[in-house]
Structure 1
């Protein structure tokens, strides 16, 4: 690329602008998704929320979560399943109606 060539400079400026816009839009989508997840987590009961946070955020296994909380593996799995279902239903309601959390 010849930076003294006006065509090369114009292309570079366009590419940088498009890349910057794409990065900004990606960041905005991630921030919006993070707010939505936080809202959904806040609506869970305490046991479901802790199971979800330990499993997804802290990346503990079902076995490890059960050991930490004194639960059997089946209880951890049930809590995670119910939490995912509640979060999916609530997410659908929020996004389906265009309501922002």
Structure 2
């Protein structure tokens, strides 16, 4: 069995995790919610679903650059929200 693709995927995942943790080291100084502007939303809608697959690293890099910055950071210490579990009477 060829281990090279699995090793490459493992390296991509490891790089992603390390960069994610590094970016969140100073999370207290970041905004809690980053709302995408109209141009960003239009760009994301244009991407669509490709007919042909792409390399995983390319997809991960695109997500980190174009998608992930525009979100609510639930791990932020000033993010006050309650998300009930499925077994909760509130859900």
Q: Structures share a fold, TM > 0.5?
A: no
Q: Normalized against structure 2, the TM-score is what? A: 0.36
Quick check: which one's helix share is greater?
A: 1
Greater Rg by CA = 1
